[in-house]
Amino acid sequence: MYHRYDGGGVTVDGPSLLVRKNFKETVSLSGNYYVDNISSASIDVITSGASKYSEERTEYSLAGDYLYGKSILSAGVTYSDESDYQASTYSLGVSQDFFGDLTTLSFGYALGQDDVSQNGNDDFEEEIDRHSFRVGISQIVTPRLLLAANYELITDEGYLNNPYRSYRYLSDPLDPAAGFQFAREVYPSTRTSDAASLQLRYRLPWEAAVGGQYRFFTDDWGIDAHTILVSYTHVLYEHWTLDFQYRWYSQGQADFYQDLFLFPSQDEKDYRARDKEMSEFSDQTLSFYLSYQRPLSWRYAYKAGISLQYDRIAFDYDNFSDLTEEGFLPGDEPNYSFDADVYKILFTLWY
C-alpha cells in the first residue's frame, strides 16, 4: 500500500507491506512493515516560531490467529520508532461463535509502553503506560441484516502531553494590547476514556449494501465526542466494487483547555492545554473507494486486486484561534479551519 495525507501544513506519506500465511487451516501468521514520512509546517509549528521539520516513523508488527473449534485466539505485537518517540504494543484477543454461528462474542486486551524524548534535549525522557480493554458482539439478525455493538475502556498513565507544544497567556491581564507569551503545556498524568459504538449493515435487493454507525466517546478530562458514519457499497460488472462513505465527528473541549489564558500556570496541578485536538471542534469526511479483483491462473497466486481510496476532510475549530492572521488583539483572532486530502492505493495478491 502507498498512502498520503496532505492538510493543515502537514504531509504524511509512505509505503506499507503486509504478508499473511495460513498453516493447516487453523493457524494464520502475518507481518506488517509501515512507514510514515512526515513533513510539518503546521499552524502550531509556525506560530511557536519553530522551523519546518521532517522525520520518519517506521512501524513493525507481527500477529497470529489460532482457530480452535468455533473460537479464534489472537495475539500480536507492534513496535514503532521515530526520533523522539518509541512505542510498543502487545495485544491478546478471543472471539467465539454461538447459536449456529449467528452470534459472535469477542473481547481483548492491549498493553502499550511508550518512551517519550525531546530532540535537542538529552535530559528529557518520559514514559507512558496504556491499558485497553474491549468487548464486542455481532448478530446476524436476518440473511440481509447484521448488527454489532462494541465497548472499549482505555487507561493512560505517564507523560501525556506533547513536549514541544505550548499554551499562550496574556503578558498583561489588564491590557490585551500588550500581547501574549508562550509556556509549555501542563497535563494530568492519568487519563481514562470510554467508547461505545453501534453498527448495522444491510444488504439491498440489488448488488449493494448500506451501513451505519454511531460512536460515543467520553473521558475524565471532560471531552465528550460523537461520531456518525453512513456508507453505501455497490458491486459493478462482477469484478468492481464502489464504496461511498460520509463521516461526521464532533467533540467538546477538555476541562483544562483554553485558547488564551489570563496568566501562566501556577503549579504542576494547574493544568493548561492549547492543543487544538483538545479544543471544541468538528470534522467531516467524504470518502470514495474503487476496488477491482479477479482470479488468476498463475501457479503462484490465485487472485489479485487493486483498491483506490480518496478522502476529503474538512476541519472546523470553534475555539482555537488562527494566530497567522495579523491585526487582531489577543482573543479576537478568527477561528482556525483547514481541509485535508488523503490518498491510498493498495495492491493485494492472494497465494
Cβ(249)–Cβ(223) under 8 Å?
no
Integer Cα distance of 277 and 321 in angstroms: 13
Per-chain mean pLDDT for the chain: 95
Longest dimension (CA), the chain: 78
Question: Is the pLDDT confidence value at 237 over 90?
Answer: no
Q: Which pLDDT does position 53 carry in this prediction?
A: 86
Beta bridge partners of 129: 113, 157
pLDDT tens figures, 301-337: 999 999 999 999 999 999 999 999 989 999 999 999 9
Instruction: Write the DSSP assignment of 117-145 as a string of letters.
Output: EETTEEEEEEEEEEEEEEEEEEEE-SSSE
pLDDT in tens, 59-117: 999 999 999 999 999 999 999 999 999 999 999 999 999 998 899 999 999 999 999 99
Q: Three-state SS for 326? A: coil
SS3 47: helix
Closest CA to 222 of 251, 249, 243: 251
Cα–Cα nearest to 276, from 185, 207, 208: 185
Which amino acid, residue 49? G
The DSSP call for residue 9 is T
Residues 162-191 have a mean pLDDT of 94
Rounded CA-CA distance 237/339 in Å is 34
State how far the Cα of 183 lies from the Cα of 258, in Å rounded to an integer. 13
Reported confidence tier of residue 120, pLDDT bands at 50, 70, 90:
confident
Q: How crowded is residue 302: how many other Cβ atoms within 10 Å of its Cβ?
A: 12
pLDDT of 45 over the 90 cut:
no
Count CA atoms closer than 13 A to 45's CA, side-chain side: 11
* Residue 273 to residue 242: CA distance in whole angstroms: 42
- In words, the CATH class of domain 83-350 is mainly beta
